[in-house]
Chains A and B, each alone.
Chain A
Amino acid sequence: MVKAKAKPGPLARRPDNSAFKQQRLPAWSPMLTAHTVLPFFYILALICLLLGVWLLLTVQSTQEMKLFYTEAKTCAECFEKRENVSLAAEECRCTVTFLIEKAFKGDVFFYYGLKNFHQNLRRYMDSRDDGQMVGRKSNLKNPSLYCSPFSQDQNGLPVAPCGAVANSIFNDSFTFTYHKSASQNIPVPLLRNGITWYTDKNIKFRNPRMGNLTLDQVFEGTTHPPYWQKPVNELDPDDPTNNGFINDDLIVWMREAAFPNFKKLYGVLCRDNKPFTKGLPAGNYSIEITYNFPAQRFQGRKQVVLTTLTWFGGQNHFLPIAYLVTSGLVLLTAVVLTVVWFKFGKGGQNMVE
């Protein structure tokens, strides 16, 4: 391996005296000693404790309310109805009522939730065409093979948006009402846009370049997914920035959940007008549901979730508790280690050969 070097002289083949070649690079060699490990453990325990307490206090300040409506009250009828595919087009509405005992302060977020709906199946997740949704014309007319069997209808027309994900979009809609008194029903205003990631709304999802064409013209020659009742360009005819592929509900749905139980943002309480300027006041509320999504198909359940948020997200009891438990564990370990060290290792007594 050593090639004769061109260096002349009697020591021509002598290796260089560099720290690297002689393996003498200066280095830091740490070791697990009591003086480093024990303080580290105690400090870690303290940090975890503080974080845990802080998080716990923060979480305590949030409010959340979950409401399963799959078969609740009048919805049971709709539930039955949706089981029957032949009645799919028939409209079904139901109402759930509930009581908020303590006012929700601040921004209130309205989610719909699904249990046991597997958005994370491999074939399901693959069944979409990002090229189509970012407005590629070629993909619009020739959707990806991954979208099969939702890429073309019987007539050979391309489906837009194609694929199983888009096809199975959650299509219940909600009307939220505040019953201030027996007679005074105030509709709760929900902001239905601005509920997506900025990048999704502005980069990942684009309608095909229109030029002078209207949206309807652009989507001409395509058909809507089989389970949809209306084409993609009629999702929100009122607001052109919320129509077609850049419809907020579609985008939210297209961001597939990692787990079979998930919730997705439906709207945010609009606090412009009384009595909602400070949030949701305590009282009776009802939600009228346009019941379209067939829950029995996936043996799942549907819910609505109302929640307020903090600086670290929604109501999440896991992190504070996990930090508190960890803190306890670390402290316990630290104490045990201290005892062991004191008994065996103090002053290097265990290091005697």
Chain B
Amino acid sequence: MSFFGLDCIKKKERELERKLRANDREYNRSFKYATNAIKTSKYNFFTFLPLNLFEQFQRIANAYFLFLLVLQVIPQISSLSWFTTVVPLILVLSVTAAKDATDDINRHRSDNHVNNRKAHVLIDRKLRNEKWMDVQVGDIIKLENNQFVTADLLLLSSSEPLNLVYIETAELDGETNLKVRQALTVTGDLGDNVEKLADFSGEVCCEPPNNRLDRFTGTLTVAGQKYPLDNEKILLRGCTLRNTEWCFGLVLFGGPETKLMQNCGKSTFKRTSIDRLMNVLVLCIFGFLAFMCTILAIGNWFWETNEGSQFTVFLPRQEGIDTGFSAFLTFWSYVIILNTVVPISLYVSVEIIRLGNSFYIDWDRKMYYNRNDTPAEARTTTLNEELGQIKYVFSDKTGTLTQNIMTFNKCSINGKSYGDVYDYTGQRLEITEKTERVDFSFNPLADPRFVFHDHSLVEAVKLENPEVQLFFRLLALCHTVMAEEKTEGELHYQAQSPDEGALVTAARNFGFVFRSRTPDSVSIVEMGQQCSYELLAILDFNNVRKRMSVIVRSPDGKLSLYCKGADTIIYERLHQSCSKLMDVTTEHLNEFAGEGLRTLALAYKDLDEGYFNEWKQRHHEASTTLEDREYKLDELYEEIEKDLLLLGATAIEDKLQDGVPQTIEQLSKADIKVWVLTGDKQETAENIGYSCNLLREEMNEIFIIAGNSPEDVREELRNARTSMKPDSAETVFLPERSLVNGVQALTDEEVNGEYGLVINGHSLAYALEHSMELEFLRTACMCKAVICCRVTPLQKAQVVELVKKYKNAVTLAIGDGANDVSMIKVAHIGVGISGQEGMQAVLSSDFSFAQFRFLQRLLLVHGRWSYLRMCKFLRYFFYKNFTFTFVHFWYAFFCGFSAQTVYDEWFITLYNLVYTALPVLGMSLFDQDVNDVWSFQHPQLYVPGQLNLYFSKKSFFKCALHSCYSSLVLFFIPYAAMHDTVRNDGKDVADYQSFALLTQTCLLFAVTIQLGLEMSYWTAVNTFFILGSLAMYFVVTFTMYSNGMFLVLPAAFPFIGTARNSLNQSNVWLTIFLTSTLCVLPVVTYRFLLIQLSPTINDKVMFKVRQARATPPPPPQRRRIRRTSSRRSGYAFSHAQGYGDLVTSGRFLRRPAVSRSTGFPGMGRTTSGFSPMGRSAGYSPTERPLNSKVPHVEVTSLQMYRTIRDPAL
């Protein structure tokens, strides 16, 4: 944002270090730090006009027209009256100015709103209510619960124990889980004692303002003692205080210097490829214009030399103008006349079309998600047509493809599989919304949102089947979930991973309710009976172990070890007695895995008291040694987790968002390559890849790149390529990179068959290295699907960047979390899923909607249409303007190259603005080749967009040729028909004015008919626009040529009577008919021949549509994709280290029930205690996110606006 830029310049020297003293305004003022007032608006009442005009004239098109205007003022040059340029220019300028003004008014409003918020500031030893904008650096501020943080503050003290405060940072980084900040003890002791606070005179010395949200360095000096400050003690503007009654903070940065503001307005301006092409074309057109004018100027020189010199008797030369100078003037005169090849209205119309198409996205009900009342939103209105050209889609997994919700779907207990529903004939039934659910009313503690369909499992529990009971007991005991019970019977679980939560909830519903835990006990309600198990040890999960166990003593004193883990791991540790059960369970596991479910095997073992005591002793020793502790513990765990007895297996569905497999299938049919970039582990990612149809069983091969050294990775990539395309791999063809930024574009390589590629984070790091990136890209681009696992946000962006750099293709990144922001910003189009993880991704995205499946509608319908419309618009627009202009060129050869126009000046003024504006706008807002249903039916329709088929340099050239032909017809037919003729009463009709009227009428008919040919979707509006514009032409013409207008301003309306006197002539109309016929004839012939000889995919589909018009098109198939697969599924565990430590240490449970007092229904409270890294662990068995935003949180003004100015325009 330029405002801040200006500020920086004003400051003579850059701030290197910030020094301030608490409660000392005098001292702090000497540094001239910014106050807390923010200003995002650009203009005020007086500066609006000059500044806005200045800005607008920085755009090439506007500046060009200003230049023309200047030319027109010079009488020797002026070939057109001033109004031909001024009227369109004023119109364009005022439309833009109006838009800028409303934007700025809104910004003013929100600035005022924010600046006038109240804060408690400690001034003169008293707390005063001050406006935000009056807060200064060095002030001490009191914040209360649920208030916005006023400025960047150093936390001094808080109401909570240990000087903790909880903040929500959703507006900064998009994460909705609460974070904890802790004040220094030395300041925390100040408490809320105003006297003490007023006496506080600590000095802070810290880094200058910057935009890094995650880092802060500085020192606090209190009474000569220095204390280091880091990010943990800082409250940033934009956060919200939660669960904390009050806190005090010292203002470090205010207003524009806060990190929030420093982060604003950095969004890079994205341009579409059509934009870039258009710029090139406009330059070409300028060149062409100069060329034409040069020819005409030379013509003028010849004419003046040979004929003009004689004609001076009738038309004396102006003083000091000889033939050479006259040619020079003619050049500029023709620049004015032929300026319509670069029409000013082009840019305005393009903006209008894009805006209109963006509104369609906002308005689309089929992209509206009613569960959380979220419509799709086009946040950028300048990229629409690019949506029709996407070649690569980069997708995040969690929250984008999946809902990040796990449901307990099936299980296998003691060799019996539960979860499927069969009808009375034994046929397995499809589970739908309507399938009868199991009634859990017998269990008052059941979670009402839990859904299960197989009644036999409940029966088994009720019948007290021991294995089933043991199964659920294990699930209720073996986990690290925290329970919170606000009111009796209303349990909330805090799980480290959604998988765990799902398992514990399942146990809860089946009568084994985990109720609460202490560091050394777990209490559960078993079929209505309260029992407490002594928790002796948690053998926690980690990535190598892939299992977790607990050792508990049951109420009747029995010692048991319960274990759950990846099936392969558990199977290695089973007692040989369960080999039979293993076989059956394996079968079930395969079946579950085939359905894409995440599985865990469960096992248990009873322990001998003596052995356990001895083991515990060793465990204690091992956990206190300093060296090799991990290893020793692992050894111990390994020792006790053996000879387990298999109990069964669980199957959890990592619920995909609705319609994800169908969407991916559609996208792949549209030849869009989907790359999944996920932070997940390889197994999980692969698993999801299968379940969402990205990887398919019928693919020839799936390559897995998991090398540990650059050489390995290179080798694996090469091998993959060899097997995909045996003949090419030997030739090392890597394109030579030239030193200048001209990087060659990689072309797509043909491969035989379909392949998939999975690459893990390690290998990806190597693959993205400079020397290998091309190798990687080549291989990856040959595959249908690519999955990158364990990628960091930065790598996500790098991958997108890589494709952007070497592939001449349009990319789209879609994601929902803060970790996707980088790739969303880098990609040509960024799409944010406005879902569960805050709004950071949405805020930096260009389009946002609630569900991944809307992507297909965005691309295949909106994108395709937008692209089609934009291309049609451009082709037609250039056609109509070229045709218009070229006629002048031909006329020059008959009027002595004197820069005489063919048309009436009013026609020139109004041609683009009135006569042809609406019809072409109508076409570009309403046109559709086939409707949305058919677009879905034939995703191949999308391919022409990727190949730039509708508008390219070639089609532009064709347009120009077509215009050339049309203009020849439009000039020479009227010429031949008129030059020697008279009216039917013998009077003149070959005069200039009649000829001008005739030509312009012919032109208007020709371009209107041409538009009719372009249009494939005639709505009533289009028809009205077209007929209306023609009618308008006649109305305006007759008005302009009327007696009244002439008598008011004879000089401006000299065409009086022309319309009446020539449009009543039959030969005029015969000429109009002839020119129209001749203009249309070749177009229709050419198109018809094309359709017959080489029909495009569009023609084919449109043909089908016509054929099927009698019968409505079949509804899109919604078949469920079911695979029979032998693949072993990923196991259901998240991949971070478990919470075992926290649980047993008891730290986690320090403040058990206080939370109720704040009245804030926060599960965040408990989470914040240990502040888990990464994704929030909120778990909900239904789709409703518990972490959803607190409704009264407003969006800060800054984030509502992303004003991007295109510097080139």
Cβ 8 A contact of B977, one of A129, A319, A348: A319
Q: Which of B925-949 contact A (CB under 8 A)?
A: 926, 928-929, 931-932
CB-defined interface of A253-279 with B at 8 Å, one 1/0 digit per residue? 001111111111100100000000000
Any A CB within 8 A of the CB of B637: no
Q: Which of B285-320 contact A (CB under 8 A)?
A: 307, 310-311, 313-316, 318
Any B CB within 8 A of the CB of A102: no
Any A CB within 8 A of the CB of B377: yes
- Tell me the nearest residue of chain A to B940, going by C-beta: A353
Tell whether, in the assembled complex, residue B310 and residue A255 are in contact, meaning their CB atoms are under 8 Å apart: no
Any A CB within 8 A of the CB of B975: yes
Give every chain A residue within 8 A of B315 (Cβ-Cβ).
Answer: 121, 123-124, 127, 164, 168
Give every chain A residue within 8 A of B318 (Cβ-Cβ).
Answer: 123
Q: Which of A14-67 contact B (CB under 8 A)?
A: 14-17, 21-34, 37, 40-41, 44, 48, 51, 55
Tell whether, in the assembled complex, residue B373 and residue A15 are in contact, meaning their CB atoms are under 8 Å apart: no
Binds A, one of B457-465, B535-543, B734-742, B1089-1097: B1089-1097
Docked Cα-Cα span, A351 to B992, in Å, equals 51
Give every chain A residue within 8 A of B896 (Cβ-Cβ).
Answer: 118, 120-121, 260
Cβ 8 A contact of A32, one of B1061, B1088, B1097: B1088
Using a Cβ–Cβ cut-off of 8 Å, how many residues does chain B contribute to the interface with A? Answer: 106
Tell whether, in the assembled complex, residue A122 and residue B375 are in contact, meaning their CB atoms are under 8 Å apart: no
Cβ 8 A contact of B1050, one of A134, A333, A348: A134
Docked Cα-Cα span, A25 to B1021, in Å, equals 9
Distance (Å) between the CB of B1184 and the closest chain A CB? 12
Tell whether, in the assembled complex, residue A14 and residue B365 are in contact, meaning their CB atoms are under 8 Å apart: yes
Tell whether, in the assembled complex, residue B363 and residue A314 are in contact, meaning their CB atoms are under 8 Å apart: no
Any A CB within 8 A of the CB of B990: yes
Docked Cα-Cα span, A205 to B1020, in Å, equals 45
**Beyond A131-B1050, A353-B1100, is A314–B310 a contact (Cβ under 8 Å)?**
no
Any A CB within 8 A of the CB of B900: yes
Any A CB within 8 A of the CB of B693: no
Give every chain B residue within 8 A of A30 (Cβ-Cβ).
Answer: 1016, 1018
Tell whether, in the assembled complex, residue B988 and residue A197 are in contact, meaning their CB atoms are under 8 Å apart: yes
Tell whether, in the assembled complex, residue B314 and residue A168 are in contact, meaning their CB atoms are under 8 Å apart: yes
Any B CB within 8 A of the CB of A215: no
Binds A, one of B575-583, B746-754, B1073-1081, B1168-1176: B1073-1081
Any B CB within 8 A of the CB of A252: yes
Distance (Å) between the CB of A44 and the closest chain B CB? 7
Docked Cα-Cα span, A309 to B1021, in Å, equals 45
CB-defined interface of B1051-1090 with A at 8 Å, one 1/0 digit per residue? 1001011001100011100110010011001001101110
Q: Which of B142-168 contact A (CB under 8 A)?
A: none
Tell whether, in the assembled complex, residue A130 and residue B1054 are in contact, meaning their CB atoms are under 8 Å apart: yes
Give every chain B residue within 8 A of A21 (Cβ-Cβ).
Answer: 360, 363-365
CB-defined interface of B51-94 with A at 8 Å, one 1/0 digit per residue? 00000000000000000000000000001000000000000000
- Tell me the nearest residue of chain B to A9, going by C-beta: B373
- Tell me the nearest residue of chain A to B371, going by C-beta: A10
Distance (Å) between the CB of B1067 and the closest chain A CB? 4
Docked Cα-Cα span, A130 to B1054, in Å, equals 7
Tell whether, in the assembled complex, residue B373 and residue A195 are in contact, meaning their CB atoms are under 8 Å apart: no
Binds B, one of A91-99, A179-187, A239-247, A323-331: A323-331
Tell whether, in the assembled complex, residue A316 and residue B980 are in contact, meaning their CB atoms are under 8 Å apart: yes
Any A CB within 8 A of the CB of B770: no
Docked Cα-Cα span, A203 to B1081, in Å, equals 42
Docked Cα-Cα span, A348 to B1101, in Å, equals 12
Any A CB within 8 A of the CB of B983: yes
Docked Cα-Cα span, A15 to B364, in Å, equals 7
Tell whether, in the assembled complex, residue A197 and residue B987 are in contact, meaning their CB atoms are under 8 Å apart: yes
**Beyond A297-B314, A298-B310, A333-B1085, is A125–B992 a contact (Cβ under 8 Å)?**
yes
Any A CB within 8 A of the CB of B395: no
**Beyond A312-B1065, A313-B984, is A299–B314 a contact (Cβ under 8 Å)?**
no
Any B CB within 8 A of the CB of A6: no
Binds A, one of B559-567, B1102-1110, B1154-1162: B1102-1110
Docked Cα-Cα span, A129 to B107, in Å, equals 53
Tell whether, in the assembled complex, residue A10 and residue B373 are in contact, meaning their CB atoms are under 8 Å apart: yes
CB-defined interface of A107-128 with B at 8 Å, one 1/0 digit per residue? 1010100001011111111010
**Beyond A14-B370, A204-B1056, is A44–B363 a contact (Cβ under 8 Å)?**
no
Cβ 8 A contact of A313, one of B899, B900, B1067: B1067
Any A CB within 8 A of the CB of B993: yes
Distance (Å) between the CB of A242 and the closest chain B CB? 16
**Beyond A12-B373, A309-B984, is A340–B314 a contact (Cβ under 8 Å)?**
no
Any A CB within 8 A of the CB of B1116: no
Cβ 8 A contact of B993, one of A28, A255, A340: A255
Give every chain B residue within 8 A of A31 (Cβ-Cβ).
Answer: 1016, 1102-1103, 1106
A-B contact count (CB 8 A): 297
Give every chain A residue within 8 A of B985 (Cβ-Cβ).
Answer: 309
Tell whether, in the assembled complex, residue B979 and residue A258 are in contact, meaning their CB atoms are under 8 Å apart: yes
Cβ 8 A contact of B359, one of A1, A44, A124: A1
Give every chain B residue within 8 A of A167 (Cβ-Cβ).
Answer: 314
CB-defined interface of B844-869 with A at 8 Å, one 1/0 digit per residue? 00000000000000000000010000
CB-defined interface of B884-899 with A at 8 Å, one 1/0 digit per residue? 0000000000111011
- Tell me the nearest residue of chain B to A264, going by C-beta: B988
Any A CB within 8 A of the CB of B630: no
Give every chain B residue within 8 A of A134 (Cβ-Cβ).
Answer: 1046-1047, 1050
Docked Cα-Cα span, A297 to B309, in Å, equals 9
Cβ 8 A contact of B986, one of A124, A203, A268: A268
CB-defined interface of B976-1018 with A at 8 Å, one 1/0 digit per residue? 1111111111111111111110000000000000000000111
Any B CB within 8 A of the CB of A81: no
- Tell me the nearest residue of chain B to A299, going by C-beta: B310
**Beyond A122-B895, A122-B899, is A203–B1043 a contact (Cβ under 8 Å)?**
yes
Cβ 8 A contact of B1091, one of A40, A125, A345: A345
Q: Which of B762-809 contact A (CB under 8 A)?
A: none
Docked Cα-Cα span, A48 to B1075, in Å, equals 12
Tell whether, in the assembled complex, residue B992 and residue A258 are in contact, meaning their CB atoms are under 8 Å apart: yes
Any A CB within 8 A of the CB of B634: no
**Beyond A14-B368, A15-B375, A131-B1050, is A199–B1061 a contact (Cβ under 8 Å)?**
yes
Any A CB within 8 A of the CB of B605: no
Give every chain A residue within 8 A of B360 (Cβ-Cβ).
Answer: 21, 23
Docked Cα-Cα span, A316 to B926, in Å, equals 44
Tell whether, in the assembled complex, residue B1089 and residue A337 are in contact, meaning their CB atoms are under 8 Å apart: yes
Tell whether, in the assembled complex, residue A326 and residue B1077 are in contact, meaning their CB atoms are under 8 Å apart: yes
Cβ 8 A contact of B979, one of A10, A123, A203, A261: A261
Any B CB within 8 A of the CB of A344: yes
- Tell me the nearest residue of chain A to B1082, going by C-beta: A333
Any A CB within 8 A of the CB of B666: no
Tell whether, in the assembled complex, residue B375 and residue A263 are in contact, meaning their CB atoms are under 8 Å apart: no
Tell whether, in the assembled complex, residue A333 and residue B368 are in contact, meaning their CB atoms are under 8 Å apart: no
Docked Cα-Cα span, A48 to B1056, in Å, equals 33
Q: Can you list 6 A-B pairs with a CB-CB distance of less than 8 A?
A: A34-B1092, A124-B898, A256-B991, A263-B990, A298-B313, A333-B1081
Known: A31-B1103, A263-B990, A264-B988. 12 other contacts (CB 8 A): A22-B366, A120-B898, A122-B898, A130-B1051, A199-B1057, A204-B1056, A258-B978, A263-B982, A314-B980, A319-B1074, A330-B1081, A340-B1092
| Closest 7 A/B residue pairs (Cβ) | A199-B1057, A258-B995, A21-B363, A130-B1050, A345-B1092, A109-B986, A168-B314
